[in-house]
């Protein structure tokens, strides 16, 4: 089936269009390479069990506001290119149910159509996650996946990622992304399996190290009933792990309190103290305004004695 190209009229319409597809920005979750979204969370979202957060995070707002700046930088540094920003369209493969809204559509000096995925990156994160040996810039895999999908949906002949690093100046290298057909084939397989899971009601196993906030959001209140986990072989191990972690935390808090008390006694009313090894410690007075906390409800996990 041909690729659909749908004009974006407003945010509500755009969100509705996105809901019916796995979008390029989160497709990496199905390959296990997305840093912010898991397959478990994506399932909950598309199943309608949780809602897409309508509020922008700080990094999201920064990226949105800086996109026009990135487009202008491209115009200045690539004067032979034709730059279209904002794209203004949502592209979708209705058969595969994959969609995307490219940041920038461009034609290079040869007149070849391409896509440029812009990412606003904090300098320390850029150094940590984007650079390899000898300062070579290598985009994270989930962003490479995003660029490849956008190239496929727009019919682009090339793709690139442009990380915009803002510190005292603005640095924005343009990194070519090879459009590997094998990567696209793998994505289509995983997306097809994902929609089959949606149809059959089979979620992925949660990543307990990452999905805590999602699980809390999915089950915000208890229902007052008791369930039987005696057939679950994993549960006792997690109870042991929880008890050990809490004991270690309690011991660490006791050690912290002892050390803080001893140092406070040695410093008296001094604000700063110099140690023999060159380190300095501070115990300055901090003042803060009083405030009121609105009522909230939350769940508390306790380990009870057996009957």
The CATH number for 34's domain is 3.90.320.10
- At 224-275, the pLDDT tens digits run 999 999 999 999 999 999 999 999 999 999 999 999 999 999 999 999 999 9
49, HSE (Cβ side, Cα atoms, 13 Å): 16
Q: Which two tokens stand for residue 208?
A: 């307990």
User: How many whole angstroms separate alpha carbon 150 and alpha carbon 90?
Assistant: 10
Q: Which helix (H) or strand (E) holds 164?
A: strand 158-166
Residue 164 lies in a domain: yes
Q: What percent of the chain has pLDDT over 70?
A: 94
Query: Do 178 and 51 fall within a single domain?
Result: yes
Q: Which of 200, 226, 246 is the last residue of a domain?
A: 200
Query: Do 160 and 251 fall within a single domain?
Result: no
Q: Is the pLDDT of residue 54 over 60?
A: no
Residue 276 lies in a domain: yes
Boundaries of domain holding 12 = 4-200
Question: What's the pTM?
Answer: 0.81
The answer to which of 1-15, 32-46, 276-290 has the lowest mean pLDDT is 276-290
Residue 224 lies in a domain: no
Specify the higher pLDDT residue, 103 or 2.
103
| Nearest partner of 196 among 41, 51, 47, 11, judged by Cα | 47
The answer to which of 84-98, 165-179, 282-296 has the lowest mean pLDDT is 282-296
Residue 208 lies in a domain: no
Query: Do 169 and 276 fall within a single domain?
Result: no
Across the range 80-88, mean pLDDT stands at: 94
* Mean pLDDT score across all residues of the chain: 91
Across the range 130-135, mean pLDDT stands at: 87
Residue 288 lies in a domain: no
Residue pair 163/172 in contact (Cβ under 8 Å)? The answer is: yes
Q: Is the pLDDT of residue 117 over 90?
A: yes
Could you tell me whether strands 82-84 and 89-93 are parallel, antiparallel, or unpaired per DSSP bridges? unpaired
| Nearest partner of 229 among 218, 238, 219, judged by Cα | 238
252, HSE (Cβ side, Cα atoms, 13 Å): 6
Residue 97 lies in a domain: yes
User: How many whole angstroms separate alpha carbon 283 and alpha carbon 263?
Assistant: 9
Q: Is the pLDDT of residue 70 over 80?
A: yes
Residue pair 106/114 in contact (Cβ under 8 Å)? The answer is: yes
- At 141-167, the pLDDT tens digits run 999 999 999 999 999 999 999 999 988
Q: Which two tokens stand for residue 13?
A: 């319409």
Query: Do 175 and 87 fall within a single domain?
Result: yes
What's the total number of domains in the chain? 2
């Amino acid at each position: 089936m041909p690729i659909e190209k749908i004009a974006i009229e407003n945010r509500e319409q755009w969100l509705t269009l996105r809901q019916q597809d796995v979008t390029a920005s989160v497709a990496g979750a199905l390959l296990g390479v997305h840093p912010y979204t898991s397959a478990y969370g994506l399932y909950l979202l598309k199943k309608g069990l949780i809602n897409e957060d309508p509020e922008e995070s700080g990094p999201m707002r920064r990226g949105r506001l800086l996109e026009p700046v990135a487009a202008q930088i491209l115009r200045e540094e690539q004067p032979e290119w034709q730059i279209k920003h904002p794209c203004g369209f949502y592209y979708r493969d209705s058969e595969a149910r994959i969609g995307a809204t490219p940041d920038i559509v461009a034609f290079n000096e040869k007149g070849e159509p391409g896509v440029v995925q812009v990412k606003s990156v904090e300098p320390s994160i850029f150094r940590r996650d984007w650079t390899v040996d000898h300062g070579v810039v290598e985009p994270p895999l989930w962003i490479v996946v995003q660029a490849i999908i956008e190239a496929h949906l727009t019919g682009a002949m090339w793709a690139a990622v442009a990380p915009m690093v803002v510190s005292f100046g603005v640095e924005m290298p343009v990194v070519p992304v090879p459009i590997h057909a094998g990567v696209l084939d793998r994505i289509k397989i995983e997306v097809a399996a994902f929609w089959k899971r949606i149809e059959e009601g089979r979620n992925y196993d949660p990543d307990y190290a990452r999905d805590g906030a999602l699980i809390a959001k999915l089950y915000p209140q208890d229902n007052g009933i008791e369930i039987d986990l005696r057939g679950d072989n994993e549960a006792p191990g997690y109870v042991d792990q929880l008890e050990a972690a809490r004991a270690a935390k309690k011991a660490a808090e006791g050690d912290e309190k002892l050390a803080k008390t001893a140092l406070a006694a040695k410093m008296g009313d001094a604000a700063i103290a110099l140690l023999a090894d060159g380190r300095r410690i501070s115990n300055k007075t901090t003042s803060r305004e009083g405030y009121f906390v609105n009522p909230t409800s939350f769940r508390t996990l306790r380990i009870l004695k057996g009957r």
